[in-house]
Structure 1
Amino acid sequence: MSHPYLCPNCKTNKTRFNIIEQKPKAVKMDPNTGEITEEYNMDHLDPIHLPYNGPEQKVQCGVCGLIEDEQSFIKRAEYAQNKESL
């Protein structure tokens, strides 16, 4: 279901946003070089490697550039709508 957005930073943008799809990639890196030494399947991780549990997408304000979870933009829009209706 779609929701209206309002940027929680600039508080003016209601129409221009970038939706950023997050696709986690589980890897093991060499601590000295930073090279990826192993890639893991998200279904079969190392016992000490926690799976990614963050949001599937983030939102960037197309005016001020703020990047936050989608809920921040939705909640700010709800707050503004409630404030206008009082």
Structure 2
Amino acid sequence: MPAYLCPSCKTNRSRFNIIEQNPKSVKMDPRSGDVVQEYGPGEQDAFHAAYQGPEIKVQCGACGLIEDEKSFAAFAEHNRLD
């Protein structure tokens, strides 16, 4: 796991929440909101786009910012403690 630095508060390098994304593709009844069909990986129909987002998001444990892991890692790389 890379080093992180919060791009918002710019001080937190140690307290983070790692959020693992686990998308589930579903078809819902537009009136009731009930799930009428669940799709397995690669089973979506022609009108259902597959999830393309990141596998991991990170939340700063100090200010609460939630961003892609790349944002926290890139900010740490550009502001190293060397």
| CA deviation after TM superposition for structure 1 residue 78, in Å | 1.3
Q: What CA deviation, in whole Å up to 9, does each residue of 1:3-60 have, x standing for no partner?
A: 1100011100000001000000000011112111111112211111111111001000
Structure 1: any 5+ residue segments left out of the alignment? none
The answer for the alignment partner of 1:39 in structure 2 is 38
Aligned residue for 1:19, secondary structure, equals strand
The answer for the alignment partner of 2:54 in structure 1 is 55
Output the TM-score relative to the length of structure 2. 0.92
Deviation >6 Å, runs of 4+ = none
Aligned residue for 2:12, secondary structure, equals coil
Bigger helix share: 1
The answer for the alignment partner of 1:64 in structure 2 is 63
**Equivalent-residue separation in structure 2 for 1:44 and 1:37 (angstroms):** 15
**Equivalent-residue separation in structure 1 for 2:45 and 2:68 (angstroms):** 28
Q: Note the aligned Cα RMSD (angstroms).
A: 1.3
Q: Which amino acid aligns with 1:4?
A: A
Q: Which amino acid aligns with 2:34?
A: E
The answer for the alignment partner of 1:24 in structure 2 is 23
The answer for the alignment partner of 2:9 in structure 1 is 10
